Structure 1
Amino acid sequence: MMLLPNLIARFLATASLLAPKLTSRLAKPVLRLDCNDEFHLAIFSDLHYGEEEDGWGITQDVNSTRVMNNILDYEVPDFVILMRPLVERGLKWASTYGNHDSQYNLSRHALFDEESKNSVSYTQHASKTLGITNYYLPLYPSLSRSDCESPVAILWFFDSQGGAPFQADADSEEIPDWVTPDIVSWFVAERKVLAEKWGPLPSLAFVHIPPTAFLTV
């Protein structure tokens, strides 16, 4: 679980008074801090559902679902981040794809189309880059704030790609298994636009396989 500390949230909410108003990029309720200036995230990664369907995989999936339900019951998050898609409950959620989301019998585009049908899914395809789930979600102050229409933080999502092309020949090359330079260029350009509109904002980024640049940090 993660939350935006009260002190930082209050500072950002005050600073956002100078920012212009925002028209939501989503045709659904925007994400907001609660009345205590907190926003709780539950993050589930690399769930590996559907493995060994005739053996140990069945028990593994049951146990994974049980653990996730227990966590959600106990923590009661405001938003759920899935590094691989899973539809459960009525909680708002968003996902980002990785190397298991493109296979001979699994289409990344079809997967996104199915997610888009869910009313509480915030997963988007907002860029013309490689991959699908490259997008961002603004996080807004509580409605109790005098200026509640300017974001206090940005949640970024990156598709690290990977896997095999859908219904491709057996000798086809696999999809690059990383965040590619064009995705980075998209991020840099979008971040500049957001900074010009709202000023510098803190961010959280979600990605299945970290960029190779992390190895040199």
Structure 2
Amino acid sequence: MESARLWIHSLLFFIFIIASLYVLDTLVISNRLTTHYQNIQLKKQPQLPLRFRSDGTFKILQVADMHYGNGMVTRCRDVLESEFNYCSDLNTTHFLRKMIHIERPDLIVFTGDNIFGSSATDAAESLFEVFAPAIESGIPWAAVLGNHDQESTMNREELMSFISLMDYSVSQTFPMDPMEQQPMTNIDGFGNYNLEVRGAPGSYLSNSSILNLYFLDSGDRAIVDGVRTYNWIRESQLSWLRGLSKRFQVNTITGTMEAY
């Protein structure tokens, strides 16, 4: 009887160990080791090419120096003391969303200091939030960097690459070589590119670029003679701009676009 009782106890203990290992594997280990596959989300492409409207207008909404941080937890600066507890990054988001709704621009352009590095603990999350109103609108939008954007968790190249992959963005990290159709990586900075705006649909200029928008990376900071100052646009950038501009000069005699 004693040996039978010991055998039963051993069997029950063995079953308990097996059950415990199964629960541990199911609830803890497997969840950490198993890769959960999700549907791949492709970038939502903007409606291109950019065009003038039939009435001959092309509206650009320019947005500068939003200095976005961490959303509702980042308080406004330079406001009245009575407003401080009620003012955050969300005020900027609300204002931008309202401006887009009122103006209905053809292109939205963000011209630097989109996020405020020292206040943005996660650059990617802040970028998603700061550009959310533009993405929600489905309107093509472009961006360049200021001197504060890279002070968070991404460098300037990473920031522009990330921005270029966001929904409806027409931003570029590097300009394209018009002859080779390859990125020109030998130019200083990140975010040098141009956007062509064609004539109104149905017009004789509908397939011609009649407005060219040039975007340049002015850098962040530099040390000159031991003094910390702002960076500047370099000769390689100006050389690229001049060369591209010549390709889009209007032939005033024929009224067509020719490459020189």
- Match of 2:233, as an amino acid? V
Rounded to whole Å, the distance in 2 between the matches of 1:135 and 1:180 is 14
By how many angstroms is 1:174 displaced? Answer: 7.6
Question: In 1, distance between residues paired with 2:240 and 2:189?
Answer: 12
Is 1:103 aligned to 2:151, yes or no?
yes
Q: Does 1:142 align with 2:200?
A: yes
2:87 match: secondary structure: helix
TM-score for the superposition, normalised by structure 2: 0.56
SS state at 1:74 partner: helix
Contact 1:103 1:163 (8 Å CA) reproduced: no
Deviation at 1:179, TM superposition (A): 1.3
The correspondence for 1:68, drawn from 96, 120, 124, is 96
Asked if 1:122 is matched to 2:176, the reply is: no
- Aligned counterpart, 1:29: 48
Give the counterpart of 1:43 among 62, 65, 70. 62
TM-score after normalising by structure 1:
0.66
The CA RMSD measured in Å over matched residues stands at 3.1
**1:122-201 superposed matches below 5 A:** 122-124=170-172, 125-126=174-175, 127=184, 128-163=186-221, 177-195=231-249, 198=257
Structure 2 gaps of 5+ residues are 1-44, 77-85, 115-130, 176-183, 252-256
- Structure scoring higher RCO (CA < 8 A, sep ≥ 6) equals 1
Show CA shifts across 1:113-161 (max 9, x none): 2222224111012043111111111110111213411111111111111
SS in 2 for 1:183: helix
Q: Which residue of 2 aligns with 1:91?
A: 139
Runs of 4+ in 1 over 4 A off after TM superposition: 51-55, 173-176
Identity among equivalent pairs (%): 23
Which amino acid is the alignment partner of residue 36 of structure 1? D
Q: Work out the number of aligned pairs and report it.
A: 167
Deviation at 1:100, TM superposition (A): 1.3
Contact kept? 1:162, 1:174, Cα under 8 Å = no
Secondary structure at the counterpart of residue 161 of structure 1? coil
Partner residue in 1 for 2:18 = none
Larger CA deviation: 94-103 vs 112-121 = 112-121
Unaligned runs of at least 5 residues, structure 1:
1-25, 165-172, 201-217
Match in the other structure for 1:56: 75
Q: Quote the Cα distance in structure 2 between the aligned partners of 1:189 and 1:181.
A: 12
Give the distance between the partners of 1:55 and 1:87, measured in 2 at CA.
17
